[in-house]
Amino acid sequence: MTWLITLARNRAVDRLRAAGKVMTAPLDYADGLADPTPLASDTAEIADTERRLLDCMATLEGRDADCIKTAFFQGSTYSELAARSSTPVGTMKSRIRRALLKLRECLQ
């Protein structure tokens, strides 16, 4: 029995050696192999933040919400917004500032 076990072990070792060296890398290289998709907890947190922001945007007056969306999501300047709504630039800045303060208060 001992002879048969030794023979089987030697055959297994020979097969492993014939397959070649097993390439290994230091553990420091594992960072580059991480999955780039966000974690489920991060995705849930982002979705919750988006939902809260949309809820707070719904509490703003129609013109204020439109100004915020146009300024921050479409990249329009205060001058462009003022020209579209036929209001002075200072009034547009004040309107957006008040709306942002309401959003901050709502989100806290």
CATH ID of 62-108, from 3.30.56.10, 3.30.530.20, 1.10.10.10, 3.40.50.300: 1.10.10.10
Q: What is the pLDDT of residues 41-85, one digit of tens each?
A: 889 999 999 999 889 988 888 788 888 888 888 888 999 989 988
pLDDT tens across 32-46, in order? 676 778 888 889 999
DSSP 36: -
Report how far apart, in Å, the C-alpha atoms of 24 and of each of 21, 27, 29, 30, 62 are.
Answer: 9, 9, 10, 11, 61
- The proportion of the chain whose per-residue pLDDT surpasses 70, expressed as a percent, equals 95
Radius of gyration of the chain (CA): 32
